[in-house]
Structure 1
Amino acid sequence: MRIFFGIDLSEELRERIGALQAELRPRLHAVRWVPAANLHLTLRFVGETSPERADVLRANLRVPIRREGTFELAFSGLGCFPRVEKPRVLFIGAAPVEDTLLSLQRSVENAIQSGGFEADARRFHPHLTIARFKQLEPALHKTLSDYSEHAWGSMSVSEVILFESRLSASGAHHHVLERFGLGGTNRDQAV
């Protein structure tokens, strides 16, 4: 199974980002758009693992996640990774209104390492991937400039989700395996 920990979007934010994608489609042709149903903020991609190891990660996260409080998360701007000259990912930036997102991400990372997985070598950059580039897009510079300061909205974060990502010819499909409530909200729920 291929798994990751993430934060799901509110329906209101999902609709706004979906509208943005529709607005950008005529400008950006050489991209593959992430379906609105798959939009999320990844806290940590784990990758392929056995169901047994996924169960260890679930158990490792249940207690520390309750110490993390709920928080507001704001989304703004438009950017690309790794750099504008050779883009692979088009994203919207995410910034916590408080400093709790990084603490939450560290808790997830620690639970994963406690489960015997290697530390993630990449630095955490909170973002929503909205498209992936097939090739360099001529309109990219202007598009980034036009949308760099735009605020897309904010949402309250009250849970972390363990997702399974199933790959198919039509793309990835994300399925919720478990929801972990933040701040002792007692919303842990295996699906």
Structure 2
Amino acid sequence: MRLFTAVTLGTTIEERTVAELQRLRAVAPHVRFVKSEGVHLTLVFLGEVEEARLPSIREALEPVGPRHAPFVLSVGDGGSFGSPSRPRVLWADVRGATDALKALQADVSTALEPLGFKPEHREYTAHLTLARSKDPRGDPALARCVKALEGADFGEGRVDRLVLFESKGGHYHSRLDVPLTRVG
């Protein structure tokens, strides 16, 4: 099974993201937009994992929740990864309690490392992926999307749990919810 850890952003951000994706499809009809269901911020991508490893992953992740308090993030504007004229990835900016998000991501990463899961990047950069180019060289339409996102406000949402998702058939299924329960 294909697994990753993430946080969800609540219904306001989900609904506004869906509206933005609809608007951006007209600007970039040939790129791969993210699924509108389950808008999330990936913390650690685990990749293909045998089902027999789920108990040890659960054991590693469950202690993380009590060490973190819920926090609020907001999403707006946008940017891209890759060449400015032919970006490969379109994203929306994540703001608010990003230090709390980075601390949660680091804790999840540390908890999973003894199980052999290495983080994809040295430093975690909070962003909400919106679309990817089908062409590995990038797509100029994504540069137009960055311009179209100027001033966009996706709202704010409360992050109150860590989720272990399984990606199956293009859909995300929660395999574990770990509430963030630290007070203060």
Structure 2 contact 69–180 (Cα < 8 Å) conserved:
yes
2: CA distance, partners of 1:138 / 1:117: 34
What is the alpha-carbon root mean square deviation over aligned residues? 2.0
Aligned-pair CA distance for 1:119? 4.1
2: CA distance, partners of 1:115 / 1:45: 13
Structure 2 contact 90–145 (Cα < 8 Å) conserved:
no
Aligned-pair CA distance for 1:65? 2.2
Structure 1 counterpart SS, 2:43:
strand
Cα displacement string for residues 20-43 of structure 1 (whole angstroms, at most 9, x for unaligned residues): 111111111221121211421101
Identity %: 32
Cα displacement string for residues 27-77 of structure 1 (whole angstroms, at most 9, x for unaligned residues): 112211212114211011110111232321211121132111110011111
Matched, 1:9 2:6: no
Higher mean C-alpha displacement, 83-92 vs 67-76: 83-92
Q: AA paired with 1:89?
A: V
Aligned-pair CA distance for 1:6? 0.4
TM-score normalised per structure 2? 0.88
Structure 2 contact 88–142 (Cα < 8 Å) conserved:
no
> What corresponds to 1:93 in structure 2?
93
- Using CA pairs under 8 Å that are at least 6 residues apart, name the structure with larger relative contact order, 1 or 2: 2
Structure 1 contact 79–148 (Cα < 8 Å) conserved:
no
2: CA distance, partners of 1:125 / 1:61: 21
TM-score normalised per structure 1? 0.85
Structure 2 contact 86–143 (Cα < 8 Å) conserved:
no
Structure 2 counterpart SS, 1:106:
helix
> What corresponds to 1:59 in structure 2?
59
Structure 2 contact 3–166 (Cα < 8 Å) conserved:
yes
> What corresponds to 1:154 in structure 2?
156
> What corresponds to 1:189 in structure 2?
none
Higher mean C-alpha displacement, 172-181 vs 73-82: 73-82
1: CA distance, partners of 2:22 / 2:93: 18
Q: AA paired with 1:48?
A: E
> What corresponds to 1:19 in structure 2?
19
> What corresponds to 1:181 in structure 2?
179
Distance of aligned partners of 1:97 and 1:117 in 2 relative to their CA distance in 1, 3 Å threshold: closer
Matched, 1:35 2:35: yes
Q: AA paired with 1:3?
A: L
Structure 1 contact 39–129 (Cα < 8 Å) conserved:
no
Cα displacement string for residues 125-169 of structure 1 (whole angstroms, at most 9, x for unaligned residues): 212222221234344334312323432211011001000011x4x
User: Which residues of structure 1 form unaligned runs of 5+?
Assistant: 186-191
Q: AA paired with 1:45?
A: F
